[in-house]
C-alpha cells in the first residue's frame, strides 16, 4: 500500500510566519516529482514557488487561492510508493529527505523539474467503497455537462467517489472536465452547487455607501506595518537643498560616450551616498531600544525604492560601499527586473542600512519620506529639470534637483545631517569633489 505523506508550509525565514496562496501548480491526482514546485505563495516580502520534498500522487490539497496559511499548516498530501505510480519509476516516489527549512534555497535541485504527469484514469463502479483524507476544495467549480454514458464511470480519485456517494450525486449523470472525460472533484462540487444555489437576494442599499474594503495583507500589509512602526518609534526630521546637477549630468554623458556598460543617474547618486556615509557614519546606523544603544554599521547595504504592480518595494544592494558606478548600475538593473517580475526573494528585500529614494521618476520635485525602519536615514531625490540658476555670477538655465534628507534625530543632530546633505549636494554640483575624497 502506498504511504500518504503530508507536506506542510515550510519555514519561510526572515521572521515571516504566514503566506497567501496565489496559484496552485498541481491538482489532486497529479504525479509530482521530488522537489517539484506545487504552489506559488506570496509573503510580505516576495512571491515564491514552494517545492515538495516527496514524489508521488497528490491525494489532497489544503487551502484555496487567496487564502492565508500559517507556517506549519498542511499544504498537500502525497501518496508515496510504487503502487501509487503506475506510470512512474518507483525511485521517483521516495522523499528527498529534506527537512523543511527557510524557503530560500529550499529543495535539492535548483533546476526546473520535469513537467507534472497525470495518472491514467481507471474505471470504477460508483458504489466502490474507499477511504481518503479530507482536503479542502481542489479546484474552482466547473459546470456539470450533460449526462454521460451509463455503466462504469471514468473516476481516478476515491475521494471523488466518496464525495459523490455521501451527497447522493450520480456520477453517471456527469460529464468529466478532466482529460479523456475524467470526473474531477470540481465536477461533483459544481453539481452540488447547482442543486443548492439559493435565490439571489438584492443587497441593501446602505451597503453600497460603505465603500470598497481592501484587506491590508501581503506586500501592502507589510508596508503599512513598517511605516506605522517607523512613525511610532523614530523621531524624524527633514532638511533639504537645491543643487545644480548640470556637471553631474555632463559627467554621466561623458562616461557613457566612452563605451562599455551604461551608467545610471541612480548609480552615481548611490556612489555619492556611500562616500558621504563614510564621512558621516552616524547615518548608517540603527537604534537598539532594548539596550539603549546606537549601533553603527560597518557596511552600507543600500536600499532603493522600486514601484511595482504589487506595490512599493525596497530591494537592497549589498556592500554598496565597495562597488563602482558600473557595478551599482548592473545591480540596480538586476534587482529592478526581479521586482517587476515578482521574483525578489526575502533576502533581496531585507537587511538595508540606508535608503535612496528617487521619487523624481514620478515627476515631482520634493518629498519628506518616512524612514525605512529600522534604518536611521533616507535620501530623497526629485526630478532633474532646467531652472533659472545663478552660475558664475550670471543668471543661466541649469539642470537643478532638490535633495532631501530625512533622519532619525536620536542618532545625530542637525549639524551632522546638514553636513551630510551639503556634501552630497557639493558632489552633485561638482563631481570632482567626490574624486578628491576617494
Q: Which of 109, 288, 391, 409 is catalytic?
A: 409
Q: Is 167 noted as a catalytic residue in this protein?
A: no
Which of 382, 320, 374, 324 has the alpha carbon at shortest distance from 351? 374
- Give the sign of the dihedral formed by CA 56, CA 100, CA 109, CA 337: positive
| Residue 6: HSE in the Cβ half-sphere, 13 Å Cα cutoff | 10
Q: Using CA atoms, how far apart are residues 250 and 33, in angstroms rounded to an integer?
A: 56
Q: Using CA atoms, how far apart are residues 99 and 106, in angstroms rounded to an integer?
A: 9
Residue whose entry in the numeric block shows the C-alpha cell 518629498: 367
Q: Using CA atoms, how far apart are residues 176 and 142, in angstroms rounded to an integer?
A: 9
For residue 117, cis peptide bond before it (omega within 30 degrees of 0)? no
Number of CB atoms found within 10 A of residue 187's CB: 26
Alpha helices in 197-324 (DSSP H): 205-208, 218-233, 246-257, 265-279
Q: Using CA atoms, how far apart are residues 283 and 260, in angstroms rounded to an integer?
A: 33
Q: Using CA atoms, how far apart are residues 143 and 187, in angstroms rounded to an integer?
A: 7
Q: Is 413 noted as a catalytic residue in this protein?
A: yes
Cα–Cα–Cα angle for 208, 210, 216, rounded to 5 degrees: 125
Yes or no: say if 241 and 403 are a contact pair by the CB < 8 Å rule.
yes
Yes or no: say if 39 and 75 are a contact pair by the CB < 8 Å rule.
yes
> What phi and psi, each to the nearest 5 degrees, are found at residue 226?
-65, -40
Residues 6+ apart with CB under 8 A from 391: 244, 246, 398
Q: Which three cell numbers stand for residue 324?
A: 563602482
- Give the sign of the dihedral formed by CA 159, CA 161, CA 164, CA 167: negative
Q: Which of 301, 319, 413, 426 is catalytic?
A: 413
Q: Using CA atoms, how far apart are residues 179 and 96, in angstroms rounded to an integer?
A: 29
Residues 6+ apart with CB under 8 A from 211: none
**DSSP assigned state of 336:** H
Residue whose entry in the numeric block shows the C-alpha cell 465536477: 187
Q: Using CA atoms, how far apart are residues 398 and 391, in angstroms rounded to an integer?
A: 8
Q: Using CA atoms, how far apart are residues 186 and 159, in angstroms rounded to an integer?
A: 11
Residues that are catalytic: 409, 413
Amino acid at each position: 500500500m502506498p504511504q500518504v505523506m503530508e507536506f506542510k508550509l515550510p519555514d519561510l525565514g526572515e521572521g515571516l510566519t504566514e503566506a497567501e496562496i496565489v496559484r496552485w501548480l498541481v491538482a489532486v491526482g497529479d504525479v509530482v516529482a521530488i522537489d517539484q514546485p506545487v504552489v506559488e505563495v506570496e509573503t510580505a516580502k516576495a512571491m515564491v514557488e514552494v517545492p515538495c520534498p516527496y514524489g508521488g500522487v497528490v491525494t489532497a490539497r489544503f487551502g484555496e487561492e487567496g487564502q492565508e496559511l500559517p507556517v506549519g499548516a498542511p499544504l498537500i498530501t502525497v501518496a508515496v510508493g510504487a503502487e501509487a505510480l503506475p506510470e512512474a519509476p518507483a525511485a521517483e516516489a521516495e522523499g528527498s529527505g529534506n527537512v523543511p527549512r527557510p524557503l530560500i534555497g529550499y529543495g535539492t535541485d535548483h533546476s526546473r523539474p520535469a513537467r507534472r504527469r497525470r495518472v491514467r484514469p481507471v474505471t470504477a463502479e460508483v458504489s466502490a467503497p474507499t477511504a481518503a483524507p479530507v482536503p479542502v476544495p481542489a479546484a474552482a467549480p466547473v459546470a456539470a455537462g450533460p449526462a454521460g454514458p451509463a455503466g462504469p464511470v471514468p473516476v481516478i480519485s476515491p475521494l471523488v467517489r466518496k464525495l459523490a456517494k455521501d451527497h447522493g450525486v450520480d456520477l453517471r449523470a456527469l460529464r468529466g472536465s478532466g482529460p479523456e472525460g475524467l470526473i474531477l472533484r470540481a465536477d461533483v462540487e459544481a453539481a452540488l452547487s447547482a442543486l443548492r444555489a439559493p435565490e439571489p437576494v438584492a443587497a441593501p442599499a446602505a451597503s453600497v455607501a460603505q465603500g470598497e474594503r481592501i484587506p491590508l495583507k501581503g506586500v501592502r500589509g507589510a508596508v503599512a506595518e513598517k511605516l506605522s512602526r517607523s512613525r511610532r518609534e523614530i523621531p524624524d526630521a527633514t532638511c533639504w537643498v537645491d543643487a545644480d546637477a548640470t556637471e553631474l549630468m555632463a559627467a554621466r554623458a561623458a562616461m557613457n560616450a566612452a563605451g562599455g556598460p551604461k551608467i545610471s543617474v541612480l548609480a552615481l547618486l548611490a556612489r555619492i551616498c556611500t562616500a558621504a556615509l563614510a564621512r558621516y557614519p552616524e547615518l548608517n546606523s540603527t537604534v537598539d531600544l532594548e539596550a539603549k544603544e546606537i549601533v553603527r554599521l560597518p557596511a552600507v547595504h543600500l536600499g532603493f525604492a522600486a514601484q511595482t504592480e504589487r506595490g512599493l518595494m525596497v530591494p537592497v544592494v549589498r556592500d554598496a560601499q565597495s562597488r563602482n558606478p558600473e557595478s551599482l548600475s548592473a545591480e540596480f538593473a538586476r534587482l529592478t527586473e526581479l521586482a517587476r517580475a515578482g521574483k525578489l526573494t526575502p533576502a533581496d528585500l531585507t537587511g538595508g542600512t540606508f535608503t535612496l529614494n528617487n521619487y523624481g521618476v514620478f515627476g515631482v520635485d520634493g518629498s519628506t519620506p518616512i524612514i525605512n525602519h529600522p534604518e536611521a536615514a533616507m535620501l530623497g531625490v526629485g526630478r532633474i529639470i532646467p531652472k533659472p540658476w545663478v552660475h558664475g555670477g550670471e543668471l543661466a538655465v541649469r539642470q537643478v534637483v532638490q535633495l532631501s534628507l530625512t533622519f532619525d534625530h536620536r542618532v545625530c543632530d542637525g549639524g551632522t545631517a546638514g553636513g551630510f546633505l551639503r556634501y552630497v549636494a557639493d558632489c552633485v554640483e561638482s563631481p570632482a569633489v567626490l574624486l578628491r575624497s576617494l
